[in-house]
Amino acid sequence: MTDVRRWDVPGRVNLIGEHLDYNGGPVLPMAIDRSLTIKVRNRDDDTINLWSDLPGSSKVAFGTGVQPGEVDGWAVYAAGIVWSFMSAGHQFGGADLVVESRIPSGSGLSSSAALTCGIASALNQMHDFGLDRTDLALLAQRAEHDFVGAPVGLMDQLAVLYGEAGHAVLIDTAQSPPTTDTVPVTWEADALTLLVINTRAHHSLADGEYAARREECERAAAELGVEWLSEATLDATIGLTDETLKARTRHVLTETARVRAAVNAINRGAWTQLGTILTASHASLRDDFEVSCPELDVAVEAALDAGALGARMTGGGFGGSAIALVPLDRVAIVRERVEARYAAQRWKPPEAFVVRAADGAHLVD
């Protein structure tokens, strides 16, 4: 049918800069060639109908005047972005939305941002709201904050909207709104690839611990007298009396330095150095920020044992996915090693797949 628009929206991995997007630090995500498709058609009434291939989901319908608390379950993100537009004064009529996804949900690859930013892009285009991609990211973030109840930063939305094939997206989250730049990633020319290892673990700690980390970072920034924790100096952290706040701050400051070093290594094609930086990031997230879990640690260790140049958890932590920079001729060995280590622990088999840097949300037809 001619009145149906189809959008393709990628998931993302974060190469480095973890838990920095609410601390004013630099982050370096990359949109990936695992995407979801959203088909959109306007309706003559004020109803939003939503169909998805998400396992266990059946059709959901709600009005365009939907309010926080009125929709829960899998449709909450979609309802949230509708609410976010309407409550910001961008009024529109009903729509039929059909979602088909190749991004595993809840695996730290940001299927949630793909969904909200994809719907946001579609609404913007179909109703000529004239919003730019940063405006859309902010509306999507508001949906997560005030409708879903998840106090997320802006990295995922910006990555999904500003992604570019062959490039990572460098985001400066200290700017308001954050600014983006692209960084060419060329490891494939040197026979390397980026492997995602989806641990398929979801620890229920994730939401509460995420909020706790944000609060700890805010307290540390207040004690150090800085607006953003990433602006503190390593010397000043000696003044923090609380050992936990000291460790959280150490992660934020060393991770900030690692992002800059990683961009430098990428620009020079210094892949061994990039690998070392990725692995150091994992250690910091595990030991200082305490957001890893056994499944992520084992995935990283097994990948390194089998010849990865570097590996780290990606995303918020407590499950989800790890990434590894792997020589092409070691991919099968890394995959086997991770699977064997998981089998020995009697964990669910992980899922490992190669990803490439892909374009952000775009209209297909």
Q: Does 156 qualify as catalytic in the annotation? A: yes
- Examine residue 112 and tell whether it contacts Mg ion (CB under 5 A): yes
- Return d(Cα 256, Cα 230) in angstroms, integer: 7
Stretch that binds Mg ion, among 13-21, 74-82, 111-119, 242-250 (CB under 5 A): 111-119
Q: How many residues bind ligand ADP (CB under 6 A)?
A: 18
Q: Which is nearer to Mg ion, 23 or 110 (CB)?
A: 110
- Examine residue 14 and tell whether it contacts ligand ADP (CB under 6 A): no
- Examine residue 105 and tell whether it contacts ligand ADP (CB under 6 A): yes
Single-letter amino acid code for the residue at 37: T
Residue 258 phi, psi (nearest 5)? -65, -35
Q: Which is nearer to ligand ADP, 24 or 108 (CB)?
A: 108
- Examine residue 109 and tell whether it contacts ligand ADP (CB under 6 A): yes
Q: Give the residue, chosen from 17, 108, 178, 360, that forms a contact with ligand ADP under the rule CB under 6 A.
A: 108
> Strand 47-52 vs strand 60-63: parallel, antiparallel, or unpaired?
antiparallel
Who's near 283: CB < 8 A, 6+ residues apart? none
Rounded to the nearest 5 degrees, what angle is found at the Cα of 266, between the Cα atoms of 315 and 141? 30
What Å distances lie between residue 60 and 41, 52, 76, 125, 236, CA to CA? 16, 9, 10, 23, 52
Least distance to ligand ADP, CB of residue 105, Å: 4
Q: Which does 62 bind (CB under 5 to 8 A by kind): ligand ADP, Mg ion, none?
A: none
Show the tokens assigned to 362.
């775009």
Q: Which does 13 bind (CB under 5 to 8 A by kind): ligand ADP, Mg ion, none?
A: none
Stretch that binds Mg ion, among 94-102, 108-116, 292-300, 304-312 (CB under 5 A): 108-116
Show the tokens assigned to 43.
């309706």
Least distance to ligand ADP, CB of residue 138, Å: 18
* Sites for ligand ADP among residues 44-73 (CB under 6 A): 52-54
Q: Give the residue, chosen from 35, 84, 101, 141, that forms a contact with ligand ADP under the rule CB under 6 A.
A: 101
- Examine residue 107 and tell whether it contacts Mg ion (CB under 5 A): no
- Return d(Cα 250, Cα 230) in angstroms, integer: 10
Q: Which does 76 bind (CB under 5 to 8 A by kind): Mg ion, ligand ADP, none?
A: ligand ADP
Stretch that binds Mg ion, among 112-120, 196-204, 257-265, 305-313 (CB under 5 A): 112-120
Q: Which of 338, 291, 294, 292 is nearest to 196 (CA)?
A: 338
Q: Which is nearer to ligand ADP, 106 or 177 (CB)?
A: 106
CA-only gyration radius of the chain, Å: 20
Q: Identify the active-site residue in 3, 44, 46, 156.
A: 156
Q: Which is nearer to Mg ion, 26 or 80 (CB)?
A: 80
What Å distances lie between residue 324 and 14, 34, 333, CA to CA? 11, 17, 13
Least distance to Mg ion, CB of residue 77, Å: 8
Q: Which is nearer to Mg ion, 57 or 273 (CB)?
A: 57
* Residue-wise burial string across 83-98, b where 16 or more C-beta atoms lie within 10 A, e elsewhere: bbbbbeebebebbbbb
- Return d(Cα 173, Cα 59) in angstroms, integer: 37
- Examine residue 256 and tell whether it contacts ligand ADP (CB under 6 A): no
What Å distances lie between residue 19 and 23, 36, 79, 286, 349, CA to CA? 7, 25, 26, 12, 27
- Examine residue 37 and tell whether it contacts ligand ADP (CB under 6 A): no
The residues binding ligand ADP (CB under 6 A) are: 36, 52-54, 74, 76-77, 99, 101, 105-112, 115
The residues annotated with a catalytic role in the active site are 156
The residues binding Mg ion (CB under 5 A) are: 110, 112
